[in-house]
Structure 1
Amino acid sequence: MPARPSRRLTTRLLAIGGAVALIGSTAACSSGGSADTGGKTQITFQTDNAPTTATTTKALVAAFEKANPDITVKVDTRPQGTDGDNLVKTQLSTGEMSDVFGYNSGSLLQALNPDNTLVDLSGESWAQDVDEQYKTTVSTDKGMYGAPFLTSFAGAILYNKKVYDKLGLTVPTTWDEFISNSEKIKSAGGVAPVIQTYGDTWTSQLLVLGDFANITAQQSDWADQYTKHKESYTEEPALAGFEHLAEIKDKGLLNEDFASATQAAGLKMLADGTGAQYPMLTNAIATIQQDNPDAVDDIGAFAIPAANADDTTLTQWQPNSLYIPKTATGDKLTAAKKFVAFANSSEGCTVQNDTSTPGGPYAISSCTLPDSVPPIVSDVAKYVSDKKAGSALEFLSPIKGPNLEKICVQVGSGISSASTGAKQYDQDVVQQAQQLGLQGW
């Protein structure tokens, strides 16, 4: 989900309640092994070890093998987070990667040197159905290397619709309207206007990272210029996210226990109506569905508002992807392509719908959401269909500093000003940019 809440973090979110077991990947089968097992072609499929991923993977493999009786699929697992990233890089560089593997889209993919390590999938029949925004996150000038797996999700303001209805509030389209709603909730009493949960420090970043589509709505090339070190967070429009963090604290709009509350506690507040609004990733609806199923229909989502309504755009996290390494050849390559195609077929999408809770729409038209989805998912899908959604920064730039969550906690707690936090973050990313060898740093 990347430094958080990028892909590495998101995997952690989806795996709430499951321990991160460092399952050894040394048992992974090399693509260079025998192509036949008992007259069948055997391929290996590597995924992370999140419990939610395991559930969908098991069902998908079973359905694929039933539809393709001449192919068997052996599932290998790897750790989540940095350990998993390093393993993927090592296995690709040594030619030991599984025949198909699931991994991040966006900047982490680019670090795999895809032109030299992965199979170009742009000529596959399903490729024409892929959403254009997603396509840019798995492509280079030389090819498209990924196929979407599971749904996208967004960084948004989750809100309790019952609280809104009781107070006669409407979904805000500007930041001033959001603050006005929050102050009305505060005046009514008994409900925290804005939930923050700095006990889980990664959650502090949502008002900054989730504001990114508003930045690109105002300056479409901001990510490119940022990568070239020609834009920074100390200036508008990027400074706004830090300013939002400071403002909600300065105006006393937070829950009293914001400094120690966890994400689980924040979601419970949202579900039971003791908190009204929560900047959070929309795939958190899976946790609400598990812990507070009766409240699922009470929760909606709206884009973090920009200063001007015309600029208000939902920030979207693209799905993880399926990839095929260049070490998969012959019958294994043919079988691997069939598996990737199956995952993005109507049958494969049915498996995904039956075994996972969507956090947003799919990134390929061959996959559709179930007829009945939580309102939060419908809200995200409407922004996407209305073309009022844009990718998060991590899908457009490789730069993300390691200390953003700590900086956001300081700003959101009133310890540092918005301008100080933005300056600290600009300094935080320098070392990473230099390590990546980016020009201008």
Structure 2
Amino acid sequence: MTANFTKTARFAVGLLAFTALSAPSWAQSVNLTLLIDNGPQTVPVFEAYVAAFEVANPEISIDIETRPGGGEGDNIVKTRLATGVMADVFTYNSGSLFQAINPQQNLLPLTNEPWQANVQDSFKSVVSSGGEVYGAPYATAMGGGILYNIPIYNELDLEVPTTWDEFMANNEKIKAAGKVAVIQTYGDTWTSQLFVLADYYNVQAAVPAFAEEYTAGTAKYATTPAAMSGFERLEAVSKAGYMNEDFGAAKYSDGIRMVANGEGAHYPMLTFAIGAIAEGNPEHLADVGFFAQPGDSSNGLTTWMPDSLYIPQSTSNEEAAKKFAAFVASPEACAIRNDTVGATGPYLISGCDLPADVPPAVSDMLPYFADGGNNAPALEFLSPIKGPALEQITVEVGSGIRSAADGAALYDQDVRKQAQQLGLEGW
């Protein structure tokens, strides 16, 4: 098991210790291996999950392994699945990247597990293949947009923008005040994608059938002006000189720190970063707000389903692995997550509630999910196609190495390769 527990994990052990007295007796002890990404909000949550689970199930121990995020992590997951050496349980993306790991060939179905009755259908749809459900949610739904520093907005008397022109006007005022307007962290290449991916609500507002036509191979980024806009927005921010000087080397953890303590005003990011702020910069949690990426005229939120827990067919500990999956998809686990990294968005499991004192960035996100709110799933949840080279292309566009038009055209080529690998018609 993990050697060093977080404070929350130790608390969970004490809280659930009494359950060990009534745990069922198994014929022999079982050791599970668990592979997770090394994100600053993922590790403490799973340390807490494992600590509580092991106390409630003393016959099962769990060893945690970590992997990088982004493309490097994708390759590790795919390689370990292909070679039959995957951990007994692992976390990975839902949506199009889930489809790319050949779930019917590599994963155990979890369709008929009793706990699935409490999981929202919207989540099941993004971890399903061939009529089977393969995943268990362990986190909240997310929004993609802009984290912003509230004290800077107050100091410069800025209003939250609802159009791209308003956003760029705010950036100009922030730059004129001698501050970093837009934080970018290309040292972690996956973070470079947000201006493109978080723009999808605006794409769908302009071209409602884009996802269907894109999947069929009849719509392209380079030939659809609304879709091209994400690359153009990335290019515009770079050309205007709004970014931090060390954007090429800065990491995700730097971006979180910068937006939290006011070293920069805006950080394009998914809202799971709220948990990282709570973990690493809790004294500044109330200083960070959130708004959806503005469009030319539309204003709504591009949403992401959370990553999922999966069990590979290669496991030799199926029952114990399923027991752990049931735990992470339970209200008990949601409460542990709230206590460990705080609330970062709406849960997709019945009985999982948000605390009353959510941070501002969470409060800012909730109206987009309320009745009458404006949100749309990210493209990767509406289409199985997401080219693996996007993060490298957006680094080039955001760094001024490649134009927006060239970046979009190159991404269309990258997408074409993946669509052909998936055997989609029209490609």
Change in CA separation of 1:247 and 1:61 when aligned onto 2, cut-off 3 Å: closer
Residue deviations 1:83-139, cap 9 Å, x none? Answer: 233213433xxxx76664433322232234434554443444433432343222112
Cα–Cα, structure 1 residues 54 and 204, in superposed 2: closer, same or farther, change >3 Å?
closer
1:142 equivalent in structure 2: 131
Q: CA deviation at 1:185?
A: 2.8
2:3 aligns with: none
Distance 1:64 1:268 in 2: 32
Structure 2 counterparts to residues 51-90 of structure 1, below 5 A: 53-68=42-57, 71-75=59-63, 77=65, 79-80=67-68, 81=73, 82-90=75-83
CA contact (8 A) 1:315 1:392 kept: yes
Counterpart among 304, 313, 330 of residue 317 in structure 1 = 304
Greater CA drift, 253-262 or 370-379? 253-262
- The separation in 2 between residues aligned to 1:53 and 1:166, in whole angstroms, is 34
**Counterparts of 1:115-130 in structure 2 under 5 Å?**
115=104, 117-130=106-119
TM norm structure 2:
0.80
What's the CA shift for 1:352? Answer: 2.3
Within 1, Cα distance between the matches of 2:251 and 2:312? 39
Any idea what SS the aligned residue of 2:269 has?
A: strand
2:343 counterpart of 1:388 = no
1:341 aligns with 2:329: no
More off after superposition, 291-300 vs 245-254: 245-254
**Distance between the aligned counterparts of 1:327 and 1:403, measured in 2?**
29
Cα distance in 2 for partners of 1:389, 1:296 equals 24
Give the gaps of 5 or more residues in structure 2: 1-23
Matched AA of 1:63: A
- 1:225-277: per-residue Cα shift (whole Å, max 9, x none)? 22221111111221110111122234443345545544444434323324211
Structure 1 consecutive aligned stretches of length 4 or more whose deviation exceeds 6 Å: none
Q: Deviations over 1:343-390 (max 9, x none)?
A: 222222222223335543322232223333332233233323355333
Is 1:178 equivalent to 2:202 in the alignment?
A: no
Taking the aligned partners of 1:254 and 1:79, their CA distance within structure 2 comes to: 29
Residues 46-55 or 362-371, more deviating? 46-55
Match of 2:140, SS state, is coil
Matched, 1:379 2:364: yes
Aligned counterpart, 2:236: 247
Q: CA deviation at 1:320?
A: 2.0
User: Is 2:331–2:350's contact at 8 Å kept on the other side of the alignment?
Assistant: no
Contact 2:41 2:275 (C-alpha < 8 Å) held by counterparts: no
Aligned counterparts, 1:186-205, within 5 A: 186-187=175-176, 189-205=177-193
**Amino acid aligned to 2:202:** N
Counterpart Cα distance in 2 of 1:209 and 1:85? 23
Aligned to 1:298: 287
Contact 1:283 1:358 in 2 (8 A): no
Q: Is the 2:35–2:64 contact (alpha carbons within 8 Å) kept by the matching residues of 1?
A: yes
Matched residues in 2 for 1:43 and 1:190: separation?
Answer: 55
Change (3 A) 1:182 1:115: same
Is 1:411 the counterpart of 2:386? The answer is: no
Match of 1:427 among 409, 413, 418: 413
Shift of residue 207, structure 1, vs aligned partner? 0.4
Note the C-alpha offset of 1:409: 3.2
| Residue number in structure 2 paired with 1:27 | none
Which residue of structure 1 aligns with residue 383 of structure 2? Answer: 397
Amino acid at match of 1:341: A
Q: Name the counterpart of 2:21.
A: none
SS of residue matched to 1:102: strand
Unmatched segments (≥5 aa) in structure 1 = 1-35
Cα distance in 1 for residues equivalent to 2:241 and 2:417: 36
SS in 2 for 1:60: helix
Q: Distance in 2 between matches of 1:219 and 1:152?
A: 24
Using a 3 Å threshold, how does the CA distance of structure 1 residues 365 and 48 change in structure 2: closer, same or farther?
same
Do the aligned residues in 1 keep the contact of 2:97 with 2:384 (CA within 8 Å)?
Answer: yes
**Residues 43 and 137 (structure 1), Cα distance of their counterparts in 2 relative to 1, 3 Å cut:** farther
2:20 maps to what in 1? none
CA contact (8 A) 1:299 1:376 kept: yes
Change (3 A) 1:119 1:197: closer
Total equivalences in the alignment: 396
The offset of 1:158, in angstroms, is 0.9
1:41: how far off? 6.8
Distance 1:129 1:217 in 2: 31
Q: Distance in 1 between matches of 2:253 and 2:314?
A: 42
Alignment check: 8 A CA contact 1:213 1:391 kept: yes
Q: AA paired with 1:439? A: E
Verify the 8 A CA contact 1:228 1:439 in the aligned structure 2: yes
AA partner of residue 243 (structure 2) = L
Amino acid at match of 1:206: L
For residue 76 of structure 2, give the secondary structure of its aligned residue in structure 1: helix
User: For residues 109 and 406 of structure 1, what CA distance do their matches in structure 2 show?
Assistant: 20
Task: State which of 195, 199, 220 in structure 2 corresponds to 1:211.
Answer: 199
Alpha-carbon contact 1:154-1:359 (below 8 Å) kept: no
Q: Give the distance between the partners of 1:129 and 1:253, measured in 2 at CA.
A: 45
